[in-house]
Amino acid sequence: MTIFNGTSTTDDVLGNIDLSDKRILVTGVSAGLGVETARSLVARGAQVVGAARDLKKADAATEQVRAEAANGGELDLIELNLASLASVRACADALVAEGRPFDLIIANAGVMAPPQGKTTDGFETQFGTNHLGHFVLVNSIASLMAPGSRLVNLASSGHRFADVDLDDPNFERTPYEPFVAYGRSKTANVLFAVEFDRRHKDRGVRATAVHPGGINTELGRHMSAEDLAQLIATIDAQAAAEGKPPFQWKTVPQGAATSVWAGVVAPIEDVAGRYCEDCHVAEVTDDLNSSVSAGVRSYALDAERAKALWAKSEEMVGERF
């Protein structure tokens, strides 16, 4: 089996794979990783449903996706605002009404380090958008996931910033820190995959979480140039202290590679219930002195924590799954 790494691209990973029998949902197809993920799949014949908040923007952004369609590959767009449960449920209802199964769901959309705010439903913006929106969407369409299908949640090395806080998920008693909130939401993405996998593996539906790497996309739009420079300087200082090379951005095709690798290439038993980065399963590391070393914190894979988050999420959205 070919071994891929952090420099591998979507085209390296997918090669000549024929996906003409696959139907795939990708959220966040109006920019960056979502567009590249859709492009690489449609170019190999997949029927991709791309979800986006702004359909006009997504339509313009995915022109290249349609241009590279091959083997009958197609892209259809559907409206989805993850910061509004009404929008999430409308999207899910439309997909369920259509009744066509999915072989893969890539929960790609997200927001990073915005000023403190709330979703339409009153949840802290990042937890509400990155986790709860996808939690409701995926669970609402889980019946469309046929045996053999997979869920890929886009998490982040940012999960190392913070574990979830099940007592104060909306920062009602905790001072708001943008990257602490981001870390909580990304840990939640991993824990959701862990528990979804546990609940559905008996019927042959599995889930995993991936870290795409550092990519300079619209995700960082809430950070000033000074904030970004300071963050990279901190990362470089920590890397130097560990004898590691300085930070380097990945290209968008390199960033999207782990998503498609985990979704259609990696043996499912290798990645199910796990956290992947650079096209391999990450090692568990709890070296709290390092926020830049590769690996995943054990709290993000904790089965009991995953069950507790599921229960808390159901309570917050007012729905049992």
Q: Which residues are catalytic?
A: 182
Residue 202 corresponds to which amino acid? D
Task: For residues 24 and 146, give the distance between their C-alpha atoms in angstroms, rounded to a whole number.
Answer: 12
The DSSP secondary-structure symbol of 273 reads T
Burial class (CB in 10 A: 0-12, 13-18, 19+), 96: middle
Task: For residues 212 and 250, give the distance between their C-alpha atoms in angstroms, rounded to a whole number.
Answer: 9
Task: For residues 183 and 313, give the distance between their C-alpha atoms in angstroms, rounded to a whole number.
Answer: 17
Task: For residues 273 and 262, give the distance between their C-alpha atoms in angstroms, rounded to a whole number.
Answer: 11
Task: For residues 295 and 292, give the distance between their C-alpha atoms in angstroms, rounded to a whole number.
Answer: 9
Q: Which residues contact 202 (CB under 8 A, 6 or more apart)?
A: none
Task: Identify the residue whose tokens are 């949902």.
Answer: 25
